[in-house]
């Protein structure tokens, strides 16, 4: 009965996944899909004997690789000859001399090969140089639009497709990166390529990539196919999401008109394109035309020229992100780019402005990066108005009027005021997170509700909340409110290290917070520590020390600390008994262990006084190696570092 239910759930999830990701025609709401998914996860966890490599639960990723293995393509993955004008296009079509041509979008993504044996997805690889690519199978499994099992189990088929990041996902990802002060992706193609080449497939899974399949590289046991359009229909029947809106034409003028139509409508597409592809439709004629060294003679890519326009920069304004980063934005006279009106673009940071010497009143050249994100290219200094002065960042935060923090080591200028209104949501969410104060039930949605109802304006306000304040809020009842207040109360007794990490000091992570707590023993001692003394802390540098000094210099920070003390929050270091079994040892864990996860093994090491390192060196005391240990084991053997197995490690812990 259990196996039957597991198979039913897999079939249901595959069906609804195809409806959502391939056909864009969902039949059930997300919460119903999620409920089915969770049920399958729980059953597979309880009954591992029914595990399947093609289960929908494999989509979340989990494989962490040391490197990508090389793949030699049996059928070369060629590129296309580019044309950039109507005349070049007509000349190329005349040379091909076909009665019919297929025209489709040139998706701006990353070209990949997908291989299937007996209907099962077995390997996926990048194009690379066309002859040798990289094996990214685990990452491609996380792309929901790629079927893990085909509708018809052919002996073998290899197809080619373009993995891309949908525009909406790209905007969301860049917004998240901006909040964290991370470098933004220039365009969806860069984002997709970077996502596919992650060694941790969980990161790839989080990027919500998609794919369009557009070619059969090789096939065994399939029907005889005569044209490109016929092959796309066949691939769609197998379960692939194929190149959309492919049309056939017989004349060059019709083809050029269709290419223009596609270019004019690209703003309305959910995916990014950088041109259109024109292919001879007949496979027999393709064989006759043949190929050059790395491009076919039977296809060309028409590339749309990037649109750039001049405009006048009227002002530079500052936006404060949730991480406190001050981001300058250019406000200029409205211009029309790639089909939309644009009057604003980010200037990123102080270095971007300084390198281009951007000043208010300048005539600037703007375009849409990747046809989506407005960007400032350069200044036309010949048109600079008399009296224009270099731009200076504000010395105080526009949101809270506190002094900003400028570091010579990074481009970002930050507001480090813990009570800054612009950072309130992020700071409270981080404070309540599991690795910080671990306030169960205080997620982003509840934080948002508390802020909107003016119940909190700083982290200290959490400790003034009462059940009756919370139970009346939307989405909460008395039981949920009681649980939340109990969790807040329980957080008061945590170690100082948790509080220091929860405060969200720039550059201070979980381990460095533990270092500070252990060295100074109280929050007052940390707050009054001198820069030179902070630099003596283990693994501390001047940037981290400077961040600590700057954070505690704000009057608002001092007021929050006092409010936390008054509420009964522990601000002292709580010493725990730690075994000295691995005292002074540096230990590396690699491979898959049978009785514990790698993280659990590393915790055993640190709990017993050792240091869990991520890489092997001559200073490594020993390596704990499980199955499929990989390059770290090889390096240990080459360096003569001691290697032990899981059984020996467990004996040590007894």
Q: Are 141 and 148 in contact (CB under 8 A)?
A: yes
Strands 611-613 and 586-590: parallel
| pLDDT at position 555 | 86
Q: Are 115 and 126 in contact (CB under 8 A)?
A: no
Tell me what the mean pLDDT of segment 347-363 comes to. Answer: 92
| pLDDT at position 66 | 62
| pLDDT at position 427 | 85
| pLDDT at position 1 | 78
Q: Which single residue is written with the structure tokens 């189990």?
A: 153
pLDDT over 90 (residue 638) = no
Q: How many CB atoms lie within 10 A of CB 441?
A: 16
| pLDDT at position 119 | 94
Q: Where are the alpha helices (DSSP H) in 20-82?
A: 30-46
* From 58, 70, 95, 106, active-site residue: 106
Which residues partner with 275 through β-bridges? 106, 303
CA atoms within 13 A on the CB side of 33: 16
Report pTM: 0.53
Q: Are 83 and 302 in contact (CB under 8 A)?
A: yes
| pLDDT at position 480 | 86
Q: What is the pLDDT of residues 517-569, one digit of tens each?
A: 888 999 999 999 998 888 888 878 888 888 898 889 888 889 899 999 999 99
| pLDDT at position 154 | 93
* Separation between Cα atoms, residue 51 and residue 508, nearest integer Å: 41
| pLDDT at position 61 | 52
Q: What is the pLDDT of residues 450-506, one digit of tens each?
A: 888 889 888 999 999 998 888 888 777 888 888 889 999 999 989 999 999 999 888
Residue 222, token pair as written in the block? 């399939």
Residue 454, token pair as written in the block? 């003016």
DSSP for 122-141, written as a single string: EEEEE-TTSSEEEB-HHHHT
Q: Are 125 and 134 in contact (CB under 8 A)?
A: yes
Query: Mean pLDDT highest for which of 12-26, 245-259, 592-606?
Result: 245-259
Cβ neighbours of residue 7 closer than 8 Å, sequence gap 6 or more: none
Q: Is 37 helix (H, G, I), strand (E, B) or coil?
A: helix
Distances (CA, A) of 287 to 81, 103, 227: 17, 19, 12
Which residues partner with 337 through β-bridges? 340
The percent of residues above 90 in pLDDT, for the chain, comes to 37
Which residues partner with 316 through β-bridges? 330
The percent of residues above 70 in pLDDT, for the chain, comes to 93
| pLDDT at position 23 | 60
Q: How many CB atoms lie within 10 A of CB 186?
A: 14
573 against 156, higher pLDDT: 156
Nearest by Cα to 166 from 187, 195, 140, 188: 188
653 against 480, higher pLDDT: 480
| pLDDT at position 615 | 83
Q: Which domains does the chain have, with CATH numbers?
A: 2-60 (1.10.287.610), 70-303 (3.30.470.30), 308-383 (2.40.50.140), 421-566 (1.10.150.20), 586-653 (3.40.50.10190)
Q: What is the pLDDT of residues 159-216, one digit of tens each?
A: 999 999 998 898 888 888 777 667 777 678 888 888 888 888 888 888 999 999 999 9
309 against 411, higher pLDDT: 309
| pLDDT at position 31 | 60
Cβ neighbours of residue 120 closer than 8 Å, sequence gap 6 or more: 53, 54, 148, 149, 150, 153
* Separation between Cα atoms, residue 455 and residue 42, nearest integer Å: 38
Q: Are 458 and 563 in contact (CB under 8 A)?
A: yes
DSSP for 139-206, written as a single string: HHTT-TTS-SB-SS--SEEEEEEEEE--HHHHHHHHHHHHHTTPPPPSSHHHHHHHHHT-SBHHHHHH
* Separation between Cα atoms, residue 374 and residue 440, nearest integer Å: 40
Q: Are 398 and 416 in contact (CB under 8 A)?
A: no
pLDDT over 90 (residue 231) = yes
Least confident of 72-76, 143-147, 579-583: 579-583
Q: Are 215 and 111 in contact (CB under 8 A)?
A: no
Strands 210-220 and 156-164: antiparallel
Nearest by Cα to 139 from 201, 65, 192, 219: 201
444-452 and 424-432 helices cross at what angle (nearest 10)?
A: 130
Cβ neighbours of residue 272 closer than 8 Å, sequence gap 6 or more: 107, 108, 109, 164, 165, 167, 170, 187, 188, 189, 266, 370, 371, 372
| pLDDT at position 158 | 97
Q: Are 486 and 432 in contact (CB under 8 A)?
A: no
| pLDDT at position 546 | 86
The two most distant CA atoms of the chain are separated, in Å, by 85
| 479 is annotated as an active-site residue | no
Q: Where are the alpha helices (DSSP H) in 438-585?
A: 444-452, 467-470, 478-490, 496-502, 510-520, 523-527, 531-534, 542-553, 555-566
542-553 and 555-566 helices cross at what angle (nearest 10)?
A: 70
């Amino acid at each position: 009965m259990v196996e039957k239910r597991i198979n039913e759930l897999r079939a249901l999830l595959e069906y609804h996944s195809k409806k959502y990701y391939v056909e864009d025609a969902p039949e059930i709401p997300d919460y119903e899909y999620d409920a089915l998914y969770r049920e399958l996860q729980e059953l597979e966890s309880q009954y591992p004997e029914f595990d399947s490599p093609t289960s929908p639960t494999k989509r979340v990723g989990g494989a962490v690789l040391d490197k990508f293995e090389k793949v030699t393509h049996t059928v070369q993955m060629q590129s296309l000859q580019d044309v950039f004008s109507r005349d070049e296009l007509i000349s190329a079509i005349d040379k091909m001399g076909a009665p019919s041509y297929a025209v489709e979008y040139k998706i701006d993504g990353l070209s990949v090969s997908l291989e299937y044996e007996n209907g099962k997805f077995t390997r996926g690889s990048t194009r690379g140089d066309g002859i040798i690519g990289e094996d990214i199978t685990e990452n491609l499994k996380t792309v929901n639009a790629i079927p893990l099992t085909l509708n018809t189990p052919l002996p073998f088929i290899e197809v080619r497709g373009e993995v891309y990041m949908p525009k909406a996902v790209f905007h969301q990802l860049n917004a998240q990166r901006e909040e964290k002060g991370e470098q933004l992706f220039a365009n969806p193609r860069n984002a997709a390529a970077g996502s596919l080449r992650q060694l941790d497939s969980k990161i790839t899974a989080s990027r919500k990539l998609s794919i369009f399949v557009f070619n059969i590289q090789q096939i065994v046991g399939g029907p005889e196919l005569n044209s490109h359009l016929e092959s796309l229909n066949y691939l769609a029947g197998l379960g692939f999401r194929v190149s959309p809106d492919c049309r056939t034409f017989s004349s060059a003028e019709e083809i050029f008109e269709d290419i223009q139509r596609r270019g004019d409508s690209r703003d309305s597409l959910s995916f990014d394109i950088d041109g259109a592809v024109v292919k001879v439709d007949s496979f027999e004629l393709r064989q006759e035309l043949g190929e050059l060294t790395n491009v076919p003679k039977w296809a060309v890519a028409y590339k749309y020229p990037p649109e750039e326009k001049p405009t006048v920069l009227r002002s530079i304004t500052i936006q404060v992100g949730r991480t406190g980063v001050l981001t300058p934005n250019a406000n200029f006279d409205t211009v029309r780019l790639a089909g939309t009106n644009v009057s604003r673009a980010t200037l990123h940071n102080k270095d971007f402005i300084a390198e281009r010497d951007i000043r208010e009143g300048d005539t600037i050249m703007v375009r849409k990066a990747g046809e989506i994100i407005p960007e400032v290219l350069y200044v036309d200094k010949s048109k600079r108005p008399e009296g224009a002065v270099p731009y200076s960042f504000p010395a105080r935060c526009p949101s809270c009027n506190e002094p900003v923090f400028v570091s010579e080591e990074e481009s970002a200028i930050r507001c480090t005021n813990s009570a800054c209104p612009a950072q309130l949501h992020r700071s409270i969410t981080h404070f309540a997170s599991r690795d910080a104060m671990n306030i169960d039930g205080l997620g982003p949605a509840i934080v948002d509700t508390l802020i909107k109802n003016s119940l909190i304006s700083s982290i200290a306000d959490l400790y003034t909340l009462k059940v009756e304040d919370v139970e009346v809020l939307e989405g909460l009842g008395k039981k949920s409110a009681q649980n939340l207040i109990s969790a807040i109360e329980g957080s008061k007794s945590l170690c100082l290290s948790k509080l220091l990490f929860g405060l969200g000091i720039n550059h201070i992570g979980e381990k460095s917070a533990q270092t500070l707590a252990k060295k100074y023993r109280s929050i007052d001692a940390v707050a009054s520590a001198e820069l030179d003394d902070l630099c003596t802390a283990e693994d501390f540098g001047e940037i981290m020390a400077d961040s600590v000094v700057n954070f505690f210099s704000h009057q608002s920070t001092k007021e929050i600390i006092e409010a936390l003390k008054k509420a009964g929050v522990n601000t002292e270091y709580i010493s725990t008994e730690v075994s000295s079994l691995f005292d002074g040892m540096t230990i590396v864990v690699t491979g898959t262990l049978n009785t514990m996860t790698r993280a659990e093994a590393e915790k055993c090491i640190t709990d017993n006084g050792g240091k869990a390192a991520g890489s092997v060196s001559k200073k490594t005391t020993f390596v704990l190696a499980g199955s499929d240990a990989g390059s770290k084991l090889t390096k240990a053997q080459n360096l003569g570092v001691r290697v032990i197995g899981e059984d020996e490690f467990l004996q040590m812990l007894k």
